[in-house]
Structure 1
């Protein structure tokens, strides 16, 4: 039987929803181990202790069911060597972008941008996402990034991943075009777009709903790199996965 661990490094989770998830996963043949801090208002260290303990167990994966704002408070307490040496990969999304990238930055071990709470089909993490080209130029590199607001929490810290020759993935749940442009400008001022080999734009939920995502697509066209757009990765309930630390290759016939 496959064993997986459930934790919450960001904001508190709804216990009833988590219990429903556990029931459905157990019916699918998974043995579930729940972190001690998942259902309580725990300190950052207590939440990180759950993660560190799970890294030392024989698990198929460590899945974070939380989201919100608090994930970066746990990073100083994470045992990076335990993650590097452990058998399990870490899965999370949105605010967990900070942990996903910090883990990769410090260990060079893959993590997965994926929310089990929204999509219980764990096998979906291995399925490729569909995309369209916004700017045709072959792209090859290890992927970094995630939720743009949360990813930028790592700016100026030792946990921000090296951008040289990488492919940057970005998505966002909230934020109008002005807010998204400010985030992109910060990445520009950090020199990120002068280093990366390509850009993947995922779901930008607020822009997509208001049909203003074309403004984003027009804005990023100035970057001298290949750019693709996928509507299959982000905050939707059927979102597919992107692996942080995995090398992707995108080739266009017209590039």
Structure 2
């Protein structure tokens, strides 16, 4: 083979490889584990109920949570330390981690759901048996403080996890429909806010969508609670946001704190290569006692997200609200910032 022909063939092969790499999701390019899907949940399955974060201090919330899961058609197996307490946590770090590991190891448990959020999940993120989880993938879900665990498990194992109601959440009709469609029926769900009711008002005021930058984007869904996500920065458990649709929500943070948290994402490089951004509800995130001598949330979001020149919308049913989407972390999806929708490109469960 002549040198010139060899160069032509080598160049063609290199171009083909580059084109293939460009077509792959960021996780595949970065060498992260290939996506794993849990078996879909079905009535009669057993849910392992665990407390990876805060303790539950009264009996009644536990009773309501168990009855809610039973009303969904599940059997419930409480973790060995579900009712434990260490300070504000649902047991010691070792106890809380062992309950999760034991549920993944237990062939009689079909899926795992957190009882509540709060704080403490970061303390056990390095104590999970990720090799075990890869061998025995199961549904794992929760939101708020569980942001660290659903993202870490996906990053370390490839398992698609779920940013969804915790067992102690209000299981209203909207949240139940979303959960069933994604986790039980395996639908390629279109996540769209419920029709706004205007009541006595001239126009609807609740659950509105605001488009910051129009457009359509595709990528794996990554994200959750802003503060918890930022707390993982610099660790091996911080998610890979390259090519991702980043979704964020928050509660009880002053606007200056939201600004600081978003600066952490920007300075860490997490915003540099996102495909799009979906902002959920930022509940009770106001200016504080100083009033509007500070930036508004609108201004903060514009400052951080408009320069990215990717589709962005605000107001998705994600966060500390009664009606919630079930968002599969790691699942490929398409967002439409003008329509205010997220569409799963395939089922998130087998």
Instruction: Identify whether the pair has TM-score above 0.5, normalized to the shorter chain.
Output: yes
> Does the Cα contact within 8 Å between 1:57 and 1:86 map onto a contact in 2?
no
Q: What is the alpha-carbon root mean square deviation over aligned residues? A: 2.3
Deviation (angstroms), 1:124: 2.0
**Residue range with higher mean Cα deviation, 96-105 or 74-83:** 74-83
Q: 1:108 aligns with which of 158, 175, 182?
A: 158
Gaps (5+ residues) in structure 1? none
Equivalent-residue separation in structure 2 for 1:68 and 1:184 (angstroms): 21
Residue aligning to 2:284: 206
> Does the Cα contact within 8 Å between 1:55 and 1:83 map onto a contact in 2?
yes
Equivalent-residue separation in structure 1 for 2:65 and 2:338 (angstroms): 43
Q: Write the mapping of 1:84-233 to structure 2, written as runs, cut at 5 A.
A: 84-116=134-166, 117-120=168-171, 122-125=176-179, 126=182, 128-130=190-192, 132=209, 133-207=211-285, 213-219=297-303, 220-233=305-318
Deviation readout 1:152-173 (Å, 9 max, x if unpaired)? 1111111112221111111001
Residue aligning to 1:52: 101
> Does the Cα contact within 8 Å between 1:60 and 1:87 map onto a contact in 2?
no
> Does the Cα contact within 8 Å between 1:101 and 1:159 map onto a contact in 2?
yes
> Does the Cα contact within 8 Å between 1:11 and 1:70 map onto a contact in 2?
yes
Equivalent-residue separation in structure 1 for 2:333 and 2:178 (angstroms): 17
Instruction: Say yes or no: does 1:43 pair with 2:80.
Output: no
Deviation (angstroms), 1:223: 2.5
> Does the Cα contact within 8 Å between 1:36 and 1:50 map onto a contact in 2?
yes
Residue aligning to 1:77: 127
Equivalent-residue separation in structure 1 for 2:338 and 2:115 (angstroms): 39
> Does the Cα contact within 8 Å between 1:64 and 1:92 map onto a contact in 2?
yes
Deviation (angstroms), 1:107: 0.6
Q: 1:247 aligns with which of 329, 332, 338?
A: 332
> Does the Cα contact within 8 Å between 1:129 and 1:233 map onto a contact in 2?
no
Instruction: Say yes or no: does 1:30 pair with 2:74.
Output: yes
> Does the Cα contact within 8 Å between 2:311 and 2:336 map onto a contact in 1?
no
Pair member with larger Rg: 2
Equivalent-residue separation in structure 2 for 1:27 and 1:114 (angstroms): 17
TM-score (norm 2): 0.67
TM-score (norm 1): 0.90
Equivalent-residue separation in structure 2 for 1:202 and 1:233 (angstroms): 5
Equivalent-residue separation in structure 2 for 1:162 and 1:24 (angstroms): 34
Deviation (angstroms), 1:25: 2.7
**Residue range with higher mean Cα deviation, 31-40 or 56-65:** 56-65
Gaps (5+ residues) in structure 2? 1-43, 86-90, 183-188, 194-208, 340-350
Instruction: Say yes or no: does 1:9 pair with 2:87.
Output: no
Deviation readout 1:29-71 (Å, 9 max, x if unpaired)? 3210001111111211111111011112343421011212211
